[in-house]
Structure 1
Amino acid sequence: MKKLPAVTLSVLLVNTLFACNNNQSQQTDISISPVGMKKTGSISERFLAYNVEMVEVTGGRFWAPYKEGKAPSGDERYEYRPPIDLTNARLQKMAAGLAPSYVRFSGTWANATYFANTDTPPSQPPSGFDAILTRQQWQDAVNFAQIADAEIVLSLATSAGARDANGHWQADNATQLLEFTDSLGATIAGLEFANEPNMIGLTQPPENYSPSDYHRDYSHFYDWIKQSSPTTLVMGPGAVEMGEPMRTMAYHLGPDTFQPEELLSADTPKPDIFSFHYYGASSQRCHIPIIGSQPEDAFELDWLASIDDGINKSTKLRDRFAPNAPLWISESGETACGGNPWATTFDDTYRFVDQLARSAQQGVQVFMHNTLAASDYALLDEHDFTPRPNYWAAWVWRNLMGTAVLNPGIKGANIYAHCHRNITGAVTVLAVNIQKDKTRIINVDAGGTLYTLTAAETGSHQAAVNGIDLTLGEGDSFPELKGKPFSAGQIELEPVSVNFMVFEEAGNPSCG
Structure 2
Amino acid sequence: MYDVGSLKSPCHPFQKTESELFGFSKGCLHMKRWDELNHFFNQTGAMVTFGLNALYGRNKLSETVWGGDWDPSNAKDLINYTISKRYKVDSWEFGNELSGKGIGASVDAAQYGKDLKNLKQILNTLYQNSKFKPSLIAPGGFYEKEWFDKLLQVSGSGTIDVMSHHIYNLGPGSDDEGLENKILDPEYLRQVETIFSNLAESIQKNGPWSSAWVGEAGGAYNSGGRYVSNTFVDSFWYLDQLGIASKYNTKVYCRQTLIGGNYGLLNTTTFTPNPDYYSALLWNQLMGKSVLAASNDAFSPFLHSYAHCSKGRNGITLLLINFSNRNRFILTVRGGETVSSGINEDAKSIRVEKSFFYHLKRAFSWVGRKGSDITFREEYHLTPKDYNLRSQTMMLNGIPLELSNDGEIPTMTPVQSNVHSPISIAPLSIAFIVYPDFDAPACNGHKKR
Q: 1:279 matched to which residue of 2?
A: 168
Q: Distance in 2 between matches of 1:319 and 1:170?
A: 31
Q: Distance in 2 between matches of 1:440 and 1:172?
A: 59
2:188 aligned residue (303, 326, 330): 303
| Secondary structure in structure 1 of the residue aligned to 2:205 | helix
Q: Cα offset for 1:394?
A: 0.7
Q: 1:265 matched to which residue of 2?
A: 153
> 2:252 matched to 1:356?
no
2:139/2:163 contact within 8 Å kept = yes
Q: Which shifted more, 399-408 or 339-348?
A: 399-408
Q: Distance in 1 between matches of 2:401 and 2:281?
A: 11
Q: Cα offset for 1:180?
A: 2.4
Sequence identity (%): 23
Q: 1:116 matched to which residue of 2?
A: 3
2:114/2:154 contact within 8 Å kept = no
Change in Cα spacing, 1:237 to 1:201, as seen in structure 2 (3 Å) is closer
Q: Cα offset for 1:324?
A: 4.4
Q: Distance in 2 between matches of 1:366 and 1:210?
A: 26
Change in Cα spacing, 1:152 to 1:121, as seen in structure 2 (3 Å) is farther
**Structure 1 letter corresponding to 2:113:** H
**Structure 1 letter corresponding to 2:431:** N
Q: 2:229 matched to which residue of 1?
A: 343
2:161/2:209 contact within 8 Å kept = no
Q: Distance in 1 between matches of 2:233 and 2:115?
A: 42
Q: 1:314 matched to which residue of 2?
A: 199
1:303/1:351 contact within 8 Å kept = no
Larger Rg: 2
1:432 aligned residue (313, 321, 330): 321
Alignment deviations for residues 257-296 of structure 1 (CA, whole Å, 9 cap, x no partner): x8433434356454112222222132145x9x9xx95322
Aligned length: 375
> 2:291 matched to 1:414?
no
| Secondary structure in structure 1 of the residue aligned to 2:416 | strand
Q: Distance in 1 between matches of 2:334 and 2:442?
A: 18
1:403/1:421 contact within 8 Å kept = yes
2:170/2:183 contact within 8 Å kept = no
Q: 2:139 matched to which residue of 1?
A: 237
Q: Cα offset for 1:452?
A: 0.5
- The CA RMSD measured in Å over matched residues stands at 3.1
Change in Cα spacing, 1:314 to 1:152, as seen in structure 2 (3 Å) is same
1:280/1:307 contact within 8 Å kept = yes
Q: 2:440 matched to which residue of 1?
A: 508
Q: Distance in 1 between matches of 2:443 and 2:305?
A: 18
Change in Cα spacing, 1:223 to 1:305, as seen in structure 2 (3 Å) is same
**Structure 2 letter corresponding to 1:389:** P
Q: Distance in 2 between matches of 1:140 and 1:305?
A: 42
| Secondary structure in structure 2 of the residue aligned to 1:186 | coil
Q: Distance in 2 between matches of 1:367 and 1:125?
A: 28
2:170/2:179 contact within 8 Å kept = no
Q: 2:93 matched to which residue of 1?
A: 192
1:483 aligned residue (402, 406, 414): 414
Point out which structure has higher relative CO (alpha carbons under 8 A, 6+ apart): 1
2:12/2:27 contact within 8 Å kept = no
Change in Cα spacing, 1:476 to 1:261, as seen in structure 2 (3 Å) is same
Q: TM-score, normalised by structure 2?
A: 0.75
Q: Which shifted more, 464-473 or 428-437?
A: 428-437
Change in Cα spacing, 1:259 to 1:351, as seen in structure 2 (3 Å) is same
Q: Distance in 1 between matches of 2:108 and 2:246?
A: 34
Alignment deviations for residues 296-340 of structure 1 (CA, whole Å, 9 cap, x no partner): 222111232132011012112112220142221111111122212
1:433/1:494 contact within 8 Å kept = yes
Q: Distance in 2 between matches of 1:203 and 1:134?
A: 25
**Structure 2 letter corresponding to 1:422:** G
Q: Cα offset for 1:395?
A: 0.9
2:217 aligned residue (332, 335, 340): 332
**Structure 2 letter corresponding to 1:145:** F
Alignment deviations for residues 130-164 of structure 1 (CA, whole Å, 9 cap, x no partner): 11112232223222322332211122112345789
Q: Distance in 1 between matches of 2:395 and 2:135?
A: 39
Q: 1:473 matched to which residue of 2?
A: 404
Q: Distance in 1 between matches of 2:54 and 2:164?
A: 18
| Secondary structure in structure 2 of the residue aligned to 1:384 | coil
For structure 2, list consecutive stretches of 5 or more residues without a partner in the other structure.
61-66, 336-375, 445-449
Q: Cα offset for 1:203?
A: 6.9
**Structure 1 letter corresponding to 2:421:** G
Q: Cα offset for 1:510?
A: 3.3
**Structure 1 letter corresponding to 2:153:** S
1:158 aligned residue (44, 54, 72): 54
Alignment deviations for residues 186-206 of structure 1 (CA, whole Å, 9 cap, x no partner): 22212221112215554756x
Q: Cα offset for 1:372?
A: 0.9
Q: 2:124 matched to which residue of 1?
A: 226
Q: Distance in 2 between matches of 1:319 and 1:276?
A: 16
Q: 2:372 matched to which residue of 1?
A: none
**Structure 1 letter corresponding to 2:327:** K
| Secondary structure in structure 1 of the residue aligned to 2:48 | strand
2:76 aligned residue (161, 175, 179): 175
Q: 1:367 matched to which residue of 2?
A: 253
Change in Cα spacing, 1:124 to 1:331, as seen in structure 2 (3 Å) is closer
Q: 1:146 matched to which residue of 2?
A: 42
Q: Cα offset for 1:504?
A: 2.1
> 2:402 matched to 1:492?
no
1:162/1:171 contact within 8 Å kept = no
1:473/1:479 contact within 8 Å kept = yes
Change in Cα spacing, 1:441 to 1:225, as seen in structure 2 (3 Å) is same
1:282/1:293 contact within 8 Å kept = no
1:226/1:232 contact within 8 Å kept = no
